[in-house]
Structure 1
Amino acid sequence: MKAAILNEKLLHPQSQPQDYIKLIFQSEFGPGHLIPNPELAKNRLYEEWQQVKDLPAENPQNIGGGYIRLCIKGIDQSRLEEINTAFVISANEKSGSDAGFMSKLELFLDMAQENYFDFDSQTAEMAVKEYLKEGIRPTSHTKTYHKHYTPAYRVVRK
């Protein structure tokens, strides 16, 4: 997990604590929600792809836990069906545990204590505490992350 966190820092240096929490959640639980309607998921993927298809392509990002973020920027439309299938399968299989997630969060907080990030450990601790108030759940990228990186990907099993 440490390698995945360091890779996130390298790829997206403007990441905030919430963005790392999202990464950790995805590495533990995958996409984090069931997909009861694959056709609806495919339509959403196509709509999102329409907005980013002309942006430069990005390599898959290993996020740990056997998952990758598969970027849809700049990819050929013919790959959308394959990506959606992998996403739906990944989303509908049970994986991860609260204990595993909490262990990864502790690693993140330890790294913050060791000054791996551009934010201080208190900022990381406050973000984790705030996040946990509502329980373990999927979260969104920050506005800063969206502004700098235009995230457009699906989390899938490797």
Structure 2
Amino acid sequence: MTQVDTLGILEILDQHLGWYPLMELQDAYKLIYQAVLGPEHLIGSPEEFSRYLELEYASLQADAAQHLFEPIRADGSLFRLNLRAYKARELGLAGLVTPLMMTAQFIQGTQSELRLTWGSFTQLCLQGYVRHFEPEEVELLDWQLIEQDFPALHHSEAYRRLYQPAYRLVSAGLIPSLGMPDEA
């Protein structure tokens, strides 16, 4: 993501609002953050990453109705892989760790790209192209993010409660290695 694709931002946001109509501004920021910078949590060793993934995965109910992949970049290069939908396909975790870790290594976004992309998004909101969020709310979060130098944020409490997100980011180029090349 070297330049800001405002039409792409609108398309991705519209798609996610269709799936998650009660998403809040904080969730939109997280979507943009991940699209630019990738996973907000540093991935340590493969063993540690695998162990944490196994614990989370074991606690999830499979859900075949959930989208397996959700694009987070308009160019289709990066997706959220929903773990409940993945679990419903009974593919196991063995083939997930390497592609997920490689995805984290491939993403080369910068803080300046995040600032530019967020700035374009806030302008779209303030100019009325995105009406889901109140202008005052947008201005407040924008100010807070600038003051805090654009930190990683968790999903909003409402989003976590309503949608119970459980996903990992995966590069489109690595999806075939998951054994399901036609599902993205």
TM-score by length of 2: 0.77
Matches of residues 1-158 of structure 1 in structure 2 within 5 Å?
1-56=9-64, 57-64=66-73, 66-74=77-85, 75=87, 76=89, 78-113=91-126, 114=128, 116-158=130-172
Structure 1 alignment gaps of length 5 or more: none
My pick for the range that moved more, 34-43 or 130-139, is: 130-139
| SS class of match (2:93) | helix
By relative contact order (CA 8 Å, sep 6+), the higher-ranking structure is 1
Q: 1:69 aligns to what SS in structure 2?
A: strand
**1:98 Cα deviation after fit:** 1.9
- Of 29-38 and 145-154, deviating more is 29-38
Q: Which runs of 4+ in 1 moved over 6 A?
A: none
Matched residues, percent identical?
22
Structure 1 position 152, deviation (Å): 0.3
For the aligned residues, what is the CA RMSD?
1.9
| Larger mean Cα displacement after TM superposition, 15-24 or 77-86 | 77-86
* Structure (1 or 2) with the larger CA radius of gyration: 2
Shift of 1:68: 0.6
- Structure 1 residue 5: deviation in Å? 1.6
Query: How many residue pairs end up in the alignment?
Result: 158
* 1:53-110 deviation digits (Å, cap 9, x = unpaired): 3334422010016211000014245342222221111123351122221221122212
2:136 corresponds to which letter in structure 1? Q
The answer on whether the counterparts of 2:115 and 2:150 sit within 8 Å (CA) in structure 1 is no
Give the gaps of 5 or more residues in structure 2.
1-8, 173-184
Q: Which amino acid aligns with 2:50?
A: K
With the length of structure 1 as denominator, give the TM-score of the two structures: 0.88
The separation in 2 between residues aligned to 1:90 and 1:78, in whole angstroms, is: 19
